Amino acid sequence: MSDDDLERRARDLLDRAALAFRGHARAEKWLRHHRVRLDEPLRVAITGGPQAGKSTLVNALIGEEVAPVRAGGAPVWFHDGTQPLARIPPGHVVPLERSKPGHAVAVPESGVRSVVVEWPCRALRHTRLLETASDDVYSEADAVLHLVRHLGEPPSLPVGGALPVHVMVLLSRADELAGGKPDALLNAKRIARRRRKDPRVGALCQDVLAISGRIAHAGRTLREDEYGAIAAIAGMPRAEADAHLLSVDRFASLPASAGLLDRLGLGGVRLAVTLTRTGARTRAALGEQLVRQSGLTELQASISDLFTGRRGALKARSALMGLSHLLRAEAQPALSAELEKVVAGAHSFRELRLLAALRTGRVTLPAELAVEARRLVGAEGGAHCERLGVDPRTPPSVLWPAAESAAARWHSLTTDAATAGGRRAAEIVLRSCTAILDDLG
């Protein structure tokens, strides 16, 4: 069952449930909500405790100074729009200033369930972001970026449940680890790489990454005057510059220090100075290097592979989980049996788990096989040509032998692979190959 097939099955189940629950006002409202969600952009929630860096990550992903939006503690959605504004239910609209950092919107004393910020932005055209510290709205998201300041043993996640193919854990504010030492980001990434291979962590989420949202956002929005200040420090005699970079108090004696500290933190300033000394000779070059070093580039690649690239599977998962919630409250045996059948046959979820396992190193294969496995389970697209790595104009008569050859190769690996994890991976890839053959046949 491909992502498109899974989405169609989920849509069909919702339609059948709507007929079964006709006249049941609460159920009808619930089903309409989930039916509409299937056609919306992917919903990605950014969650975590106080001071975890949620607003900063929103800004880094959007590439502008949008968050925080202070709305009386209500969760805030960020959608693409024609002009900056905030919509407060039931129908209040508040214009926002694009050049102003942070926004405050007045909400009724009784509070609201959520506020929608519309912001013209290419990054929001196919993805909607939700910033929240509440556990009650996770069901409203198709995917979750859960921010933590420390990794527990294993990390505590309030987003558990069946099919955790929609969750990533981020070790946020990684530049502040161990007091913001120069190697803080590198150490945080090592910790994340170590933890992402833990099978117990793999049972809770798809990936674990370290990121500094502050450095990422500063890199994407770095100004010429900020680059000039950093370049001036990098141009000082090394002993003099390093003395200023020993502590916040010492750095504060330099001109423009306050602005740089707010934007980058002392660890980020140290990193920016080092990058400038070692080759970042322009504002654009330094900004690009800061984004890469911050962990944002790796996060965007992981989001693309595991979330946006598999929109159909994740949207279907949300619909199926929503229907499951309804059927637990309102018994419909025939629908429940069909739902279980669809979930059990949802090969897309197994493909997603394998993609994450290969990305994180929980499953290892020889290099060439790993590349082929990723492609065959849909990392480069779900079409037959994309999975088989051939020209999009290739006719079915040529696709068939290519798929048959791949199936034979991976069938042999189901018994010949060196590890149990490799053999299980081969079984998943083989199922993807046979699905292509079934479709072509």
**What are the structural domains of the chain?**
215-294 (no CATH), 363-440 (1.10.287)
Identify the residue with better confidence: 152 or 242: 242
Report the distance separating Cα 169 and Cα 172, nearest Å. 9
Least confident of 22-31, 174-183, 201-210, 324-333: 174-183
Q: Look at residue 30 and give its three-state secondary structure.
A: helix
User: In the predicted model, what is the mean pLDDT of residues 19-33?
Assistant: 92
Report the distance separating Cα 144 and Cα 167, nearest Å. 5
- Residue 393 CB burial class (10 angstroms; 0-12, 13-18, ≥19): exposed
- Give the pLDDT band of residue 155 (cuts 50, 70, 90): low
Mean pLDDT (the chain) is 89
Q: What pLDDT score does 163 carry? A: 59
Question: Which two tokens mark 163?
Answer: 């099919």
pLDDT of 395 over the 80 cut: yes
- Interhelix angle 333-344/3-20, nearest 10 degrees: 170
Instruction: Spell out the residues 6+ positions from residue 238 whose beta carbon is closer than 8 angstroms to its own.
Output: none
- Give the pLDDT band of residue 408 (cuts 50, 70, 90): very high
Q: Which amino acid is at 202?
A: G
- Give the pLDDT band of residue 112 (cuts 50, 70, 90): confident
Q: Could you tell me where the DSSP H helices lie in 198-247?
A: 199-202, 213-220, 224-234, 238-244
The CA-to-CA distance between both ends of the chain, in Å, stands at: 15
Question: Which two tokens mark 440?
Answer: 């072509």
Report the distance separating Cα 117 and Cα 129, nearest Å. 10
Report the distance separating Cα 432 and Cα 325, nearest Å. 29
Within 13 Å of residue 283, how many CA atoms lie on the same side as its CB? Answer: 11
Identify the residue with better confidence: 257 or 191: 191
User: In the predicted model, what is the mean pLDDT of residues 400-429?
Assistant: 94
> Would you say the C-alpha torsion 245, 251, 257, 259 has a positive or negative sign?
positive
Question: Which two tokens mark 280?
Answer: 């970042």
Q: What pLDDT score does 201 carry? A: 83
Which tens digit of pLDDT belongs to each residue from 214-241? 999 999 999 999 999 999 999 999 999 9
Q: What pLDDT score does 189 carry? A: 92
pLDDT of 369 over the 90 cut: yes
Least confident of 197-201, 333-337, 348-352, 361-365: 197-201
pLDDT of 382 over the 60 cut: yes
This model's pTM is above 0.85: yes
pLDDT of 195 over the 70 cut: yes
